[in-house]
Structure formats: structure tokens, C-alpha cells
Amino acid sequence: METELSEFEQQMRREINAFMDNEQETRRKAATSPPEWPADEAPAPKATRSKPSGAPKTGHLVKLAVRTKPLELDSVFEHISSSISKVEAQLEAEKAARKAGYPIIGYVVETRRL
């Protein structure tokens, strides 16, 4: 039993010493050798855009319920605003709807960020 224990201890000491020697070698190499930088290659390809290239990058899509006559059914008017403010985008959409010939603006159907 004692021989097995002493053999185990000797084996463990050998493994610990080998590990420590290896660790010291890697430290020395790291201290003396210059860092390895990745080689400059062609730039990475750009990710594909989810929007067409002509589309605004920021803003809101505002949908309004509009009418030309008081007793007419509501129709949906869409306006794309480049404003990051939701309220400002709604005001721009209302102005655009009036300019397009819809004097009666019922309510905002939807406001979605682009």
C-alpha cells in the first residue's frame, strides 16, 4: 500500500513539475517574442441590408385614417417620415395628407419605426 502511495506521489510531482516548467517556458516566449497580429486581408464583406438602398435609415412609417367627405368611409394614408420623433412624424403625416387632398383626418392607425 505504501509503495503505491509513494509511486502516486512521485508521479504527481513529476506531472506538477512538467506543468510548471511548461508554464515558465510559455511566459518566457511571450515576454521575448513580439505579438502575432493577424495579417491584413481583404475587408470583410458587408452585411446585406434589410431595406432597399434608397430607403431612409431612420424615421417612422405613419398610417392615418383620412376622408375627403364627412360621411365617407375611412381610407388609409401612409407617410414615411425621416424624423426620429413620433409626434413630429405624425404632424408631418397630417400635413402631407392635407396637401394630398384629404381635409378630414380621423385618427392615427399605426406608427412604426423604420
pTM: 0.52
Specify the higher pLDDT residue, 20 or 7: 7
CA distances from 18 to 8, 12, 13, 22, 28 (A): 15, 10, 8, 6, 15
Write down the pLDDT at residue 102: 92
Nearest residue to 114 (alpha-carbon basis) of 48, 56, 47: 56
19 burial (CB, 10 Å; 0-12 / 13-18 / 19+) is: exposed
- Helix (H) / strand (E) element for 113: namely strand 104-113
| Most confidently modeled range among 26-30, 42-46, 50-54, 82-86 | 82-86
Nearest residue to 89 (alpha-carbon basis) of 58, 67, 68: 58
Specify the higher pLDDT residue, 82 or 57: 82
Secondary structure of residue 75 in the 3-state scheme: strand
